[in-house]
Amino acid sequence: MKKILFILILIILNLSSLANATDYVKLYEKTDKVDFSFYNNIDPYQDEDNFRYAYSPYPLFRTSTDLYYKDITVPHGYYILTPRHYKNRDIVLFKTAGKVSYIIPAIKKEAVPFGFYEKNIPKIKKTKWQKLHDGFFEKMNNLFKSSRKVTPPSAFITAERYEHKYLLVKLYYAEDVYVMLFNLYEN
């Protein structure tokens, strides 16, 4: 009797988790293409990022296959993914050589789970001399407030197949997750 009750409870919990699952295909169909572009394909906030950080704070994404978003084709290659909130929309800019190549809207924006970066991004291993060097310069910077560059926010990208036809790309950047869905086959 206890086993049957335990199995029923597991089934009920599993059904409730299935009901809460996000249907990314419906979100993909409801999301409209972006109806704007940037002048000369230059991100207007790019200079602000370059001023604040010593290097690009955005992750590099490599795709080995062409990706399709509605009627936009993103050919295979290397892209810097830059999330933005622009004109009341959450978008991800695909940049090559500093220019915006493609503007893809995020179908969903959510918060990064607590402790995600600690689990998925490995810590840099330093020798005792590197630790001593960093500690010395950290104390010097605290003593004399300098205009040194800020550490870029944490970033991470995951890509997984979804329903054998789509590629679900999640861009974790700072406190937000930008979810994009691409069709793997041309319509």
Counting the structural domains of the chain, the total is 1
Terminal CA-CA length for the chain: 53
Report phi then psi at 58, rounded to 5.
-105, 145
Q: Is residue 11 part of a domain?
A: no
Q: Is residue 15 part of a domain?
A: no
Contact by Cβ (8 Å): 101, 41:
yes
Q: What is the pLDDT of residues 107-155, one digit of tens each?
A: 999 999 999 999 998 888 889 999 898 888 888 777 777 667 778 899 9
Alpha carbon separation from 174 to 60, 75, 85, 113, 156 (Å, rounded): 15, 27, 14, 11, 9
- When pLDDT is cut at 50, 70 and 90, the band that residue 30 belongs to is confident
Contact by Cβ (8 Å): 47, 120:
no
Q: Is residue 20 part of a domain?
A: no
Q: Is residue 62 part of a domain?
A: yes
The pTM for the full model equals 0.79
Name the residue range of residue 158's domain: 31-122+149-183
Q: Is residue 128 part of a domain?
A: no
Q: What is the pLDDT of residues 50-76, one digit of tens each?
A: 788 878 889 999 999 999 998 899 999
